[in-house]
Structures are given as structure tokens and as C-alpha cells.
Amino acid sequence: METKSRKKTEYCILCALTVLVYLCLMWIFTGNGPYTHNTYNSYALQADSWRHGRLDLGENYYHLELAEYKGKYYVSFPPFPSYVLFPLTFLFGSNTPDAMVIWAIDIVTIVYLYKLALLFIKRPQIAALTSLFVMLGTNVTFNMLNPWVWFIAQTMCFALSVMSVYYAYKGKNALSLAFWACSVGCRPMQAVFIPVLLYIIYTKEKEKDPEIGLLGIIKKNLLNAIPTVLIAFSYMLLNFLRFDNPLEFGHNYLPEFVEAEHGQFDIFYFSNDLRLLLNIPEFDENGRMVIDHFGNLNFLIVSPFVLFAVAMVVLTFVKKEYRIALFELLIIVLCVVYMIITMMHKTMGGWHFGNRYSNDILPWLFLVSILGLKKVPEAGKYQVPLMVFGMCLNAVGLVVVYNNMYIM
């Protein structure tokens, strides 16, 4: 038993070191390191304004995406990352060490991915491989390197989503729901995935007490919901005090959406965004793939983990593990719903490599994969070629984009 525990710990350390080595390598290639100044530090500016008793930023920072409302300028993104940075403003003001923060988040993420995988996969080697695949073999790599306002929110969201699932399975429902609420404060559409957590909580409660009914489970977890309610209330209060609307966090008041004929969300954008989601890469006359800074690539190509997750659903059905397969299918359906909503947004990621909006479904597809690997552990080895492909493609892509190079 002691040898098994030591082996699990060793692989956890190896996972963390692997991510750290990857970050250092990308630091060498792109200049984005732990001491890099954050040019787009909207969240730090907001947190520092709060420290000074002000909800607006006091002035217009022209290089930032700010919401203008009643003559004042506000951060136009969901607020949770500023909650994290707020304590740091007492030491650093608005120059918080955002790059160090995102590196720390990256390490926390891989640790929790591995811990979650171990709940289902007996072999730590496969648990480590799957965890590293979803983090380093997908388009997540583009977000995890840089603390700019857009990317730090997605990176935090990824970590918080994994943590919420982990604590749901550990029976720590208050923590699970609270971390989910925090993830919604980074990417509001994560609210779509609450049925997953509620189902996990329900099944775990039934395992403890098969006689308990739905009403009993709700009553038992009322106190566990308090942190989540308080976090949600803080978002709504902040929104109301800034924009006179508890559901408005500011994006609708960005000039690009105020002036847009169809606003921020509209079915009008769907067809073009679907094309971007499934966009096949182009090649020049020399056979080189074209990489530019505003071109989306097919999300299945930049994040081949999605293909592995879908394959695990199929294998679970083949193994006649229908209960698990149906739960996996529910998650897949919610991922599709998430992407449909995303494709009704005016933009699909802006300046980036790959298709970064699709990264938000990967924590949930990770759950799909490890559920499948619990029943078909021998399938774990088939991740390797997909992982190598994803790591190489995303490493090249982010180096090209972050260095303002073009392959055309």
C-alpha cells in the first residue's frame, strides 16, 4: 500500500514538473515568463480600484476592452479573477505578479487533473498521461502561457471546473458548488454544466444512503449551497452597482458591441462561427500550413483530446456500461449546447492560435475520458499519437503567434 501511494505521489510530481518544463521552454521561445509585465492587466486595475473604494477605473485605458457606462469606464469581463488578485494589490498595487499567478494556476490545474483521474484510473501512468494530454496536447497551451485578461480568465476557469468535479466526487459538496460558481465568474456560460455536478452529488448521496430521496438530498445540502449563493450574489450586486442590471457584467457596453448591428449575441453570427469552429487549415504552394494571428483552426485538430473523449463514449457503449455511457453522453450534449451558444457570439477568440473558445469544454470532456478509462483502461495507450500531434501543433502555433511571425 505504501509503495502504491509513493508511486502515485511520484507521478503527481512528474506531472507538475512536466508542465513547469513546458512553461520554461515556451518562455525561452516567446519571452512570456513569470516576470513578464502584463500589458492587458484589466483585472489587476479593477482589483486596485476596489482597494481604493471605486468600482470604475477612474480613466479610460485605450488599449483595454473597457465598458463605458454613464461616462465611467469599467472592466467588461466577469469579475472573479479580480477576486483572486485583490489581496495582492495591497502589496503590488495594480502591478500584481499576474504571470506568476497564471503559472501557479497551471501547476494547480495539472495536480487536480491527476487527482481527479486517479479516482477512476488505477494505473497512475495512464492517469498522468491523460492529464498531460488534456493540458499540453490541446489548445489550452495558448491560454496557460499568458496572463492577459482574456487568457487568465480561461485558465482560471479550466482549473476551477476541474476542482469542482473533483470535490463533487469526494463528497465535499460545498467546495464543489463554490468552485463551480467561481468558474462561472470567469466564463459565465459554465453555468451550462451545473447538471453534471448535481448528478454527481445525487449519485454520491445515494451511494451513502440508498433510501434517501431527492427532497432529502436537497435538504441535506442546503447549507452546502450557501457559499455558492453568496458568490453569485456578489456578482449580481457588483453588476447592479455598476450597470444597474444584476445580470450585466459589462460586455454589452463595449464599443464594438454597442455599435454592432446584431449586438453581442445573435443567431446571425452562428453560420460564420460554425465555419470558424470547423475551419480546415490552408497550405501554401510549398505544402506549409498557413498560420496567422486571427485565423481559427478546426477545434478537433488543435484539441485532438476531443476525438479521444468521443471514442471513449463509443467504447463505453460497446462494453455495455450503459449507465456510465449515458452520463458521458449527457456531458457531450452539454458541450454541444455550450458551443452552440458560443457560436452565437460576435467573435470566436480574436487574436490567438487555434480555437480557444472550445477550450472551455475540455475539463468536462476530461471527465468523459476518465469515466471511460475506468472501464477500458487498456485504451489509455492510444492517447500517445494524438497527444504528440496536439503538443507539436500547438507548440509551433503559439510560438509563431506570440512572436508575431506568419507562415503564409
Q: Do 248 and 75 contact (CB within 8 A), yes or no?
A: no
The single residue listed with the C-alpha cell 434517501 is 212
**In this structure, which amino acid lies at residue 223?**
L
pLDDT at 132: 98
Q: In 3-state terms, what secondary structure has residue 193?
A: helix
Tell me whether strands 72-75 and 66-69 are parallel, antiparallel or unpaired.
antiparallel
pLDDT, tens only, 239-276: 999 999 999 988 889 887 777 777 788 899 999 999 99
Containing 313, the helix (H) or strand (E) segment is: helix 305-318
Give the whole-angstrom CA distance, residue 127 versus residue 173.
Answer: 24
Which residue ranges of the chain lie beneath pLDDT 50? Answer: none
User: What's the N-to-C CA distance of the chain in angstroms?
Assistant: 55
Residue 407 has a pLDDT of: 60
The backbone torsions φ and ψ at residue 396, rounded to the nearest 5 degrees and listed phi first, read -65, -45
CA 324-277-300 angle, 5° bins: 50
Distance CA 84, CA 315 (A): 40
Q: What are the boundaries of each domain within the chain?
A: 2-402
Q: Give CA–CA dist 119/335, Å, rounded.
A: 22
Q: How far apart are CA 151 and CA 113, in angstroms?
A: 19
Q: What is the distance between the alpha carbons of residues 408 and 401, in angstroms, rounded to a whole number?
A: 12
pTM, whole model, 2 decimals? 0.95
CA distances 158 to 106, 110, 162, 221, 368, Å, are 9, 10, 6, 25, 15
* Count of helices and strands (H, E) across the chain: 18, 2
pLDDT in tens, 59-71: 999 999 999 999 9
At residue 408, the pLDDT reads: 54
Cβ-contact 354, 296 below 8 angstroms: yes
